[in-house]
Amino acid sequence: MSGQSAFEKRYVDPKDQSDVEGLLEHFNLPPKVIAFLRANKRAVQIVLAVIISLIVAVSLYDSYKEKKIENAASNLALALKESGEEQKNALQRVVDNYSGTDSAVWATVELAHLEMKTKNYDAAATMYADIHNSLKADNPLFGLTLFSLAQAEEAKKDYEAALAGFEKLKDLDGYQLTGYTGIARIYETQGELDKALGIYGQYLAVIGDNNNAGNAKAFIEEKIARIKARQ
């Protein structure tokens, strides 16, 4: 005699099941599983309630996060359209109200730029450093904030700190020219022309015969000619 198909519903006497428990037989669960679920019905209900609550909470949080990102981007765009003190206040509101978003980071960078414009170099350097140290190397702002930090240090004549920043930039893709010229410029400012020439020479060796570096090569050669004319 053939055995019972897994797709056939088992008969269950209504007096032995509640509405919920009756569903177990309709799912064709093994008897041991059904017995376990019946014996631990309260615990199972609690676990299911927790799971459902977590799913709802995650869904609501994702919705909240998405709305926060949208509002942050919108408020950043509006802040950038302002000018003067109004812009500074608007950018600060983005930082305060939307922390943890990319827009808040961008707003902080813009605030640091404003400090640079007003020659408040110490404040700008501190802000750039805080942002840069919080970023991963693959973040588009990583190189930009390092460059801005080096500029701020150079502007306040902390040449040692500025050189350290430009040294890192010359090893960063897309910022090599900025790094080498920054170092050479500081040496030139300090009157160490031979060191400046040496740095420019290093960069020319790095780019070699790269056809895509024609403009950079011409720029560096002009710098070298200008320094030699001073010697």
pLDDT digits (tens, 9 = 90+) for 91-118: 999 999 998 899 999 999 999 999 999 9
- Please report the pLDDT score of residue 124 as a whole number: 96
pLDDT of residue 67: 83
At residue 180, what is the residue type?
A: Y
Say how far apart CA 199 and CA 186 lie, in whole Å: 11
Give yes or no for residue 34 having a pLDDT over 80: no
- What amino acid occupies position 78? L
Instruction: Give tens-digit pLDDT for 199-228.
Output: 999 998 888 777 667 688 888 889 999 988
Q: What is the pLDDT of residue 86?
A: 94
Average model confidence (pLDDT) across the chain: 84
Distance CA 98, CA 75 (A): 10
Percent above pLDDT 90 for the chain: 55
What digits encode the pLDDT tens for the residues 132-142? 999 999 998 99
Q: Bigger pLDDT: 41 or 162?
A: 162
Interval 169-177 mean pLDDT:
92
Domain spans of the chain? Answer: 11-97
Q: How confident is the model at residue 187 (pLDDT cuts 50, 70, 90)?
A: very high
What pLDDT shows up at residue 18? Answer: 47
Q: What is the pTM of this model?
A: 0.69
Give the residue, 216 or 16, on which the prediction is more confident.
Answer: 216
Please answer whether residues 178 and 169 qualify as being in contact, where contact means their C-beta atoms are separated by less than 8 angstroms: yes
Looking at residue 16, what is its pLDDT?
A: 45
* Alpha helix positions (H), the chain: 19-26, 31-39, 41-81, 84-97, 102-117, 121-133, 140-155, 159-169, 176-189, 193-207, 214-230
